[in-house]
Amino acid sequence: MFRKLARPGRCWFITTGVGLLPVIWMGVTQPRAHWRIGRGAWWFRVEYRLAPEHPYPAANEDCWAALEWVSKHAAELAADARRLAVAGESTGGLLAAWVAQRGAKRGLSLRLQLLLYPNLDATVSMRSWTELGTGEFILAKPWMEERFNAYLQKGVDPRSPEVSPLFAAELGGVAPAMIVTADHDPLQDEGQGIRREAESRGRASGLYLLAGPDPRAAINGRGGGRGQGADRPDRDGTAQGLGLRGDVESA
């Protein structure tokens, strides 16, 4: 979505994710949390290349190239390059976190990361995958392993920070993160883990833990939620009331 503004405004860069492979969605819309947080802002949605035809690092490179282009051409688009943020859902959260970490290393400043039920660990080995990745709660562990096996070529280490942002050892200069997950989501531990890693290194973060098995439904206003490290969760379960509210509104 592109929005013309009267003055240079906030700029959101979004990557969606469905396991990094083609998929057919039926009756699923983009979470309203994106649009609520990003009102009055430019939105850029990246159509990155998909595996297995285009394995790692194709999607990563596409997202980084797009982010660099937006940053360099912000003035032409009436956007403010100093107020650039990234957002991603599921494996799109992996790509958003990855470009945020690369941006910190290469001097591309971001104001915020919005990570919605992010998939940040290509090993698919967190406890929440074992306990909840049965297929009963949206995702199944074998399904996710199949997709990462197709995405990662033989010899690529899934524990490398260049593949799995959860394992990044250096987070200096990385933008604050707003993380949304759900208490019955197989991806829950990955969202929890990136928050702990960020805070242990002195980086600001906020986690919003949504009640119920489906974070997508809750984000769209059909479920409740509770905040962890949040000042004021929204009543309808959206992500806007996180502890990073001030950063969101000024991003």
pLDDT score at 217:
56
Residue 140 lies in a domain: yes
Q: In sequence order, what are the residues at sequence separation of 6 or more whose Cβ sits closer than 8 angstroms to the Cβ of residue 75?
A: 8, 81
**Considering the chain, what percentage of its residues have pLDDT values greater than 70?**
64
**Average per-residue pLDDT for the chain:** 75
Q: How far apart are CA 203 and CA 221, in angstroms?
A: 29
Which pLDDT band, with edges at 50, 70 and 90, does 123 fall under?
Answer: very high
Closest-CA residue to 33 (of 251, 237, 243, 245)? 237
Helix intervals (H) in the chain: 32-37, 58-72, 91-106, 127-132, 141-151, 188-200, 215-217, 245-250
Gap between the Cα atoms of 131 and 175, Å rounded: 31
Say how far apart CA 191 and CA 187 lie, in whole Å: 7
Residue 155 lies in a domain: yes
Identify whether 226 is part of a domain.
yes
- Write out pLDDT tens, residues 210-230: 655 555 555 555 444 444 443
pLDDT exceeding 90 applies to what percent of the chain? 35
Structural domain span for residue 239: 9-19+30-250
* Displacement of CA 167 from its chain's centroid (Å): 15
User: Contact, 97 vs 115, CB < 8 A?
Assistant: yes
Segment 240-244 shows an average pLDDT of 38
For the chain, give the number of residues: 251
* Single-letter amino acid code for the residue at 168: A
The model's pLDDT over 188-206, given as tens digits with 9 standing for 90+, comes to: 999 888 888 877 776 666 6
Q: Using pLDDT thresholds of 50, 70 and 90, give the confidence band for residue 240.
A: very low
Residue 192 counted as domain residue: yes
Residue that has been written with the tokens 């396991």 in this structure: 19
Residue 3 falls inside a structural domain: no
Q: What is the mean pLDDT of residues 69-85?
A: 87
Structural domain contains residue 240: yes
45: left (phi over 0), alpha (psi -120 to 50) or beta: beta
Q: Which residues pair with 43 in a beta bridge?
A: 12
Indicate the pLDDT class of residue 23, thresholds 50, 70 and 90: very low
CATH at 243: 3.40.50.1820
pLDDT 10s digits, 80-104: 888 888 988 888 899 999 999 999 9
Question: What DSSP designation does 175 have?
Answer: P
Could you tell me which residue, 36 or 246, shows the higher pLDDT?
36
Confidence at 168, pLDDT banded by 50, 70, 90: very high
Name the packing angle between helices 58-72 and 91-106 (round to 10°): 60
**What pLDDT was estimated at residue 65?**
93
Q: What is the pLDDT of residue 127?
A: 95
Q: Are 164 and 107 in contact (CB under 8 A)?
A: no
Number of domains in the chain: 1
The predicted structure's pLDDT at residue 227:
42
- CA pair distance 205, 251, nearest whole angstrom: 14
Contact 92, 82 (CB under 8 A): no
Look at residue 1 and tell me if it is in a domain: no
Q: Which residues face 152 on adjacent strands? A: none
Residue 25 lies inside a defined structural domain of this protein? no
- CA dihedral (100, 103, 109, 112) in degrees, to 10, reads 0
Residue 27: predicted pLDDT? 29
Q: pLDDT-based confidence at 147, cuts 50/70/90?
A: very high
What is the pLDDT averaged over residues 176-197?
A: 87
